[in-house]
Every structure is written in C-alpha cells, then in structure tokens.
Structure 1
C-alpha cells in the first residue's frame, strides 16, 4: 500500500509541474499521466480528467460537473476530494467531460464565474475534456474538422503560440463573455491521453484562418 501511495504521490507531483508549466506558457502542449482505471469511476470522467480534478479540487473549493449523469460524476468527485458541489455560476471549478456536446460546453463557459475587480481570483477554472489536444503541426497535417489550430497571444507568449484541438465551441463562448482583465476564467483543455493546454484569463485566443472559416460555417456553437 505504501508503494502504491508513493507512486501516486509522485505521479501527482509530475502532473502539478506540467500544469504549472502549461499556465506559464499558454497555448503550448504538455502532458500529464492519467490515473489508473477504476470500477467506481463514472464513464464521464476519464483518467486524465480525474488527474486534473485531483490536482485542483479539494475540500476548500467548490465544483460542478456538466454531464448527463451529473449525480454519479458529482458523487464520485465529492467522495474523492470532499469538495462541495454547487451550481455552475458559483463553482470554483467547472468540470466538463469530453462527451459533453458543444451546447453544454458553451453554456458552462458562459455561466462560469468571472470574479470581481476586488477578488479576480474568484474567477472559475474550467476543466474541459476533449477528444484530441495536439501540436499545431499535427493540426496542419490532420486538416479538416478533426483538428483545428488555435493561436494564443499575451503574457507568457513571445510572439504567438499555436495548438490544435478537436472542438472550438469553448473559444467562441469565451469571446462572447467579453471579460476584461483581471476578471475572467481560466480554461484547461485535456484529452484522454493526458495532452493538455492551459489558457489563463490574460491570454488572447483566436482561431487560425482555417479554423475561423470552420466556426463561421456554423459547425461550432
């Protein structure tokens, strides 16, 4: 048991370092190790998303899960973290499984707490599951709707950083919020293999020309 606990601790320490690096370098690809499969874990939560949840969520914060099986997923998160489940607009962390459709994603992004000028740190962090998060080079090779390339500017970015992702509903929903820094939300995109990209509230994010056309065509909410 001690060996297993030690291994999990080291895994979480590595994941913590990866997430810190991801926030320090917005729009760059990083990797975390998914937690091992568990019979008790709901289908909505894959191993990589669970790793993120365990990094961020504990008894000192609140959360919500956006999923068709909200009660099962929320009960599991509560049992693992002892955190309090609340509504999307009140949650410190909004957990959106990769199977959530674009309408659910857009609603969660729209409703997530932006914080206040006095307490901008109260802005929510959205942990968003994706089918595929990759480098921009992979996105260029995998042309079409499967992967769309996104550009990131702002603090921590020298000129521009680019990455590719299979869904873009979060991007247009984020832009529609109209948040003004220091208020806003943080977004972490992660796929089942543990590839992740972090987007702080200070980042400016936009689709590339090809992805913008994809959005304009009405394929993304």
Structure 2
C-alpha cells in the first residue's frame, strides 16, 4: 500500500503505508530472512524503505508484512508497541492478534530478553508448531562478547547485542535442548536483522584474545 489512509481506531487518525511494491518487497525480504536463518548471526540489511508505526522498527515492520496473514496469529508485546501498531498490523497484514502469547505463530518482543517459556515450543508430533520471535534490540553487531556455533556457522561467529539480561544464555540453552522443538529468534535493530535458529548455540567469549 503506497498511500496513508485514515482508519477508525487509529490513535493518530492516519495509518502509515506498508510496502511500496508489496509482492516484490515481500519476496526480497523473505529471501534475506531465509539466508539469515541459514547463516545464524550474520547481519543483513532489509532493502526496503518503510515508515513503521510507533513501537515497530523498520525491519520488524517489513518482516510482519512479509510473514503475517490471516492464518498467522501474532502476539504484540504491549511494552513494545500499542494501539497504532496493532491497527497497522490488522490493516496491512490481516493477522489475528493473539491475547495469549502461547497461541501465537509469530511474536514481537522488546527489552533485555524475552521470556521464552511464554511461547509455543511445538511438540514431538508437530515441532514446526513452535513460535518465531522478532526481538527488537538497541544494538546489534557482528563483534562482541557472544560466540555462536552450530549448523550454518563454519567454525564460530561473534555477535554483540544489547540490552541482554542475565540468564538469557541459560534460557537459550534450555530452548536448544528441546530440539526438534523450540523457538527461533530473529534479532532486529533498525533496518537490520540477524537470525538465531533453535539449533544455534550461544556462549560468552572466555577471553578478550579469543578469535
């Protein structure tokens, strides 16, 4: 959608536009996301211009436009975004907004670390029924104190993100132990993203001199 449209219930009285070229932009974003999932921790820029509603970063908004539809329940962290973002999602994506986070196929979270236990991790019969979390962070860098290993990483990969709560690495390890069940994360900062599939292991760098 390329024009702004007034919508009932939109606190600003004006709904912000979505993709300028919905099909092409969604295809571009989906390819970038697939590549990010195949190369955990590698940071990519989404090449689309978008003005997100308050509470959503540009990459978060682009991912929502790419992934969500009427068949994908979405949970929106009330601490991250409010009524204007909810109205924008309903209008552009047509997605049902889940009141219960465990019913969501996708979720947007913000803050120091999401509570992974609040979301569906799938089960042995349907591990694909687990949720994917879009986690908005204030800093995202391909260097820092975190070391990633696992499928899609040749040896190891450094990652820096902030804020990061104590206890997240332990919670992420517990999530990985659920494989083939478990959550996937997509880190978002501005217009950039990096993926952390459930198979990715995260540790802290032991010394400053570690490669």
> Could you say which TM-score interval applies, normalised by the shorter chain?
0.7 to 0.9
1:37 aligns to 2:57 (yes or no): no
Give me the TM-score of the superposition, normalised by structure 2.
0.78
Q: Does 1:110 align with 2:106?
A: no
Question: Cα distance, 1:74 vs. partner?
Answer: 2.6
Does residue 23 (structure 1) correspond to residue 23 (structure 2)? The answer is no
* Cα distance between partner residues in 1 of 2:104 and 2:20: 31
CA shift for structure 1 position 115: 0.2
Count matched residues. 189
Could you give the per-residue CA deviations for residues 1-34 of structure 1, whole angstroms, max 9, x where no partner exists?
Answer: 89x9764543332222211111111121211135
Structure 2 distance, partners of 1:30, 1:49, is: 13
Any unmatched runs of 5+ in structure 1? 140-148, 212-221
TM-score under structure 1 normalisation? 0.75
1:132 aligns with 2:142: no
Aligned to 2:9: none
Equivalent residue runs for 1:179-218 within 5 Å? 179-192=177-190, 194-209=191-206
- Structure with the higher helix share, 1 or 2: 1
Whether the aligned pair in 2 keeps the contact of 1:27 and 1:151 (CA below 8 Å) is no
Measure the CA separation in 2 of the matches of 1:74 and 1:174.
28
Following TM superposition, by how much is the alpha carbon of 1:70 offset from its aligned partner in structure 2, in angstroms? 4.0
Q: Is the 8 A contact 1:152 1:205 kept in 2?
A: yes
